[in-house]
Chains A and B, each alone.
Chain A
C-alpha cells in the first residue's frame, strides 16, 4: 500500500512541476491568482502525503497490478485506445461498429450472427437518436460524411 502512495505522490509532483511555472508566469493579481494558489496547495498537500509515505518506509508487500490481471487489462484497455483512434478516421458509427464486432468476436467469442446483428443495429440506433431526433452531429468520419451528404 505504501509503495502505491509513493508512486502516486511522485506522479503528482511531476505534474505540479509542470503546472507551477505556468500559473506563475500568468500570475499578476488577475487571472493567474486562483490557479497559482491552487497549484501551490496541490504541491503542498502532495508533499505532505509523500513525506508521510516516506516516513512510513517503503514496503512492497503487494504488486500494483495482480499478476494474472495484466492480460485482461490490456485486452480491454488497448481496444479502448484503438476505438478512440478509429473514431478520428471512421467516425463514431463505423468505428463503433467495427469495435463492437471485433470485440464481440475476439473477446466475447459470440456467434457471427449475434455479432452482425448487434454491431449493425446498435450504431444504427445511435445514429437515429443523435443525428435524427436530437440533431446532435457526432463525428462521422470522411467515408460516412461523403455517403450521407456528398461532401
Chain B
C-alpha cells in the first residue's frame, strides 16, 4: 500500500474512533481495564473473556475498541499494584516489581508510577506507528515461522530471563526448569493423557500460573514483610506534578532502553504465541546487561521500570498485528479477542483490510486515541489508588489474602487451587530467603506449554533429530543469541567467583527481591 494511502486510511480510522460512541466505549474500556489490571488474579485475558458476552449488542468496531481499550487499561493498571504492593496485577508486570517496588519503598512511588505509565505510553505510541506503517512486511516474515523458529525464540526468552536476576545462574536455571516442569502438569497437549498429576484428578486441568504467581508473589511477600517487622504499608503514593515533571526530566537518558524495549517488545508481540510477558522480561534483562547502571538494577532504578513497561505495552500492540492481518493471535489476550471476531460475524484474515475498512482502521485509530486518554486517566487516577495505601496492616494483610484467594479461585473455579496458592506462598517465602529467583519459575510456567509444543513439533518435523534447528537459519540465529545471552551472566559469575576467592569472600550480593 502506498504511503499516502496509509495516511488517508489512518485519518479515516481516527475519525471513526473519535465518534462519540466509540470514544465513550474506549473510556469505559480503559477504566474497566485499569481496574482489572489492579486486581491481582483478574487478568487482561480473563477480563476480556468475561466482557466478551457484553459486546454482543455492540457494532463490531465499537466492540473491538472496547476490548482493546480494556487491554491497554490492564497494561497500564498492572503496574500500579506491582509498584505499590509488589503484587503484579498482571503477568507482564512481574518485571516491573523488580525495581518499581524498591523505588516505592524508598519513598518514590510517584516517580516509579510516572515512569511506568510514561514509558508504557511511549512504547505504545511508537509501536502504533510501527503497526500502522510496517504491518504487511512484518507479518509476512513472522508468517514464515515454523515450530523450530518458535522454539528458538522461546529459548531466547528463557536465556534472557535466567540471566536477569544477577544472582546465582545455577539457581536461575533450576527455577526455569522447575517452572517448565510445573507447566507439564495436567493433560498432555498432544496425546491427551494426564501427566505429573500424582493421581489427583483436580490436577488434570493443570496448574494455573495465576495461582502460583499469586502465592509466590502475594502471600510470600506478606510473610517476608512480617518477618522483617510487622508493617507492609510504608509506601505512600502521592503523584504530584513535581513527581511527574522530575521523572519526565529523567527520560532523555533512557532513550536507548526505550527504543530497545519498544522494538524488542513489538517484534516479540508480533510473533505468534508470545506476548507482553516474555517481552517485558527480555527487555528488563537486556537493559540490565547493557545499561551503565545495570549493576544497580533490582535496587530501585527508574530504568528498571522503564525497560519492562515499554516492552510490555509495545508487545501488547504488536500482538494485535498478526491477529488483524493474518488471523493468528500474537498473545493469549489477542486469542480471546479473536474469538470475538466470530461472534461479531467477521472472518479474521488478510481480507479484513480490504473488506472491513471501518473495523480495521477504526481499531488502529482508536489505538492512538485510547492510549493518549489512557495515560491521562492513570496519571490522574493514582491518588484514588493511593487511598489503598493508607489502610493499616491489620486490615491490609487479610485484605490481600482474601483478594488473592478470590483471584486464585477465579482462575479455575476449584478450591484445591487455594491450597496450591497457600503452598506456593510458603515456597515463595523459602525461595526468596534462599536467594532463588522467582521470576524464571513463573515465566517458564506460563510459557511451558508453548515451549513443549514447539519443541515436539520441531522434532517431528526433523524426524526425531534435533539437527532441524541447525538447518533453519532464522532458528539458528535465535539459538545463537540465546546461547550468548545465557552464557554471559554465567561467565560473569565465574569471573566474580575467581576474583572473590582471592579477595574478600563475603561480598554481600544484592538481595534479589521479587
Contact = CB atoms under 8 A, between A and B. Distances in A.
Interface in A127-141: 130, 134-139
A32 B181 CA distance: 11
Name, among B174, B198, B230, B426, the residue most crowded by chain A CB atoms within 10 Å (CB to CB). Answer: B174
A126 B421 CA distance: 20
A116 to B, nearest CB: 13
B55 to A, nearest CB: 15
Contacts of B421: 84
Given A31-B193, A99-B401, A8 B410 contact: no
B410 A23 contact: no
Interface in A68-120: 69, 72-73, 75-77, 79-81, 83-84, 87-88, 92, 96, 99-100, 103-104, 107-110, 118
A5 B395 CA distance: 35
Interface string A16-54: 000100110010001111110011011001101100100
A42 B178 contact: yes
Interface residues of B, number: 56
Given A92-B402, A96-B405, A136-B410, 6 more contacts: A32-B195, A33-B456, A34-B452, A72-B227, A76-B226, A104-B398
B188 A31 contact: yes
A122 interface: yes
B212 interface: no
A4 B398 contact: no
Contacts of B42: 134
Contacts of A139: 409, 415
A64 interface: yes
Given A66-B227, A92-B402, A130-B410, A108 B392 contact: yes
Given A23-B196, A30-B190, A138 B181 contact: no
Contacts, number: 150
Contact of B410 (A33, A72, A84, A138): A138
Contacts of A32: 195
A145 B409 CA distance: 17
Interface in B169-218: 170-171, 173-174, 177-178, 180-181, 184, 188, 190-191, 193, 195-196, 198
B490 to A, nearest CB: 12
B286 interface: no
B487 to A, nearest CB: 16
Contacts of B434: 4-5, 7-8
Contacts of B228: 69
A12 interface: yes
A65 interface: yes
Name, among A30, A84, A110, the residue most crowded by chain B CB atoms within 10 Å (CB to CB). Answer: A84
Nearest to A23: B196
Contacts of B419: 84
4 smallest beta-carbon distances between A and B, as pairs: A108-B394, A31-B188, A103-B398, A35-B184
24 contacts: A5-B435, A30-B188, A31-B188, A34-B184, A34-B452, A34-B456, A38-B180, A41-B177, A45-B173, A49-B170, A64-B433, A76-B226, A80-B219, A83-B398, A84-B405, A84-B419, A92-B402, A104-B394, A107-B394, A108-B392, A109-B394, A122-B402, A134-B42, A136-B50
B187 to A, nearest CB: 9
Nearest to A105: B394
Contacts of B395: 100, 104, 108, 110, 118
A87 B415 contact: yes
B422 interface: yes
How many A residues are at the interface, by size bracket?
Answer: 35 or more
A107 B396 CA distance: 12
Contacts of B196: 19, 22-23, 35
B398 A72 contact: no
Contact of B195 (A8, A35, A46, A92): A35
A84 B181 contact: no
Contacts of B422: 80-81, 84
Contacts of B193: 26, 31
B191 A83 contact: no
Interface string B427-456: 000110111100000000000000010011
B195 A26 contact: yes
Nearest to B197: A22
A34 B455 contact: yes
B227 A65 contact: yes
A76 B426 CA distance: 12
B184 A103 contact: no
Interface string B395-430: 101110110011001100101001101100110001
